[in-house]
Amino acid sequence: MKVLVVVALVMGAGASCFVLGAIGFAYSKPAREAAASAASSPVHRGTVKVDRVWDDGSYTQSQITYENNTTTTFSAVTIECIAHKKDGSKLNSEQRSFFKHERGPIYPGFRGSLKIGIGHEGYRARDVDHVRCTPTESIEL
């Protein structure tokens, strides 16, 4: 962002404005540039391992283990699991969360398991080739 400090003189009731001169410039990264820089460095929220995937008729179930291998304590961590076809295209997804009020603070070293069911909307269970799960959101304590 560029900041220009301008000294102006307003004269008379007609509010004519005369610019007397610019005092100086200050420079910092443009907001758009700063946002792009932040987006390119992903936030580390821990790791997720998919332990088991099975079909129960209505859902593709995934048993996952999350580990907080960061130096940050969280009050919530959301895990998103996405069911994919063999070609890698997305079929459907579902999210579940670890919450402080259910399991206590999610300290560094925390390990926990969840079962996440991904509904069969518009596809059959046999269409699922693999499930990929990642921590997508977190709230620091």
Instruction: Locate the domains of the chain by residue range.
Output: 2-40, 47-140
Average pLDDT, stretch 102-125?
92
- Give the pLDDT score at 45: 92
pTM, two decimal places:
0.68
CATH topology of domain 47-140: Immunoglobulin-like (2.60.40)
- Give the pLDDT score at 5: 38
Distance from C-alpha of 126 to C-alpha of 87, rounded to nearest angstrom: 14
Structure tokens belonging to residue 130:
């693999």
- Give the pLDDT score at 98: 95
pLDDT tier at 42, thresholds 50, 70, 90: low
- Give the pLDDT score at 37: 43
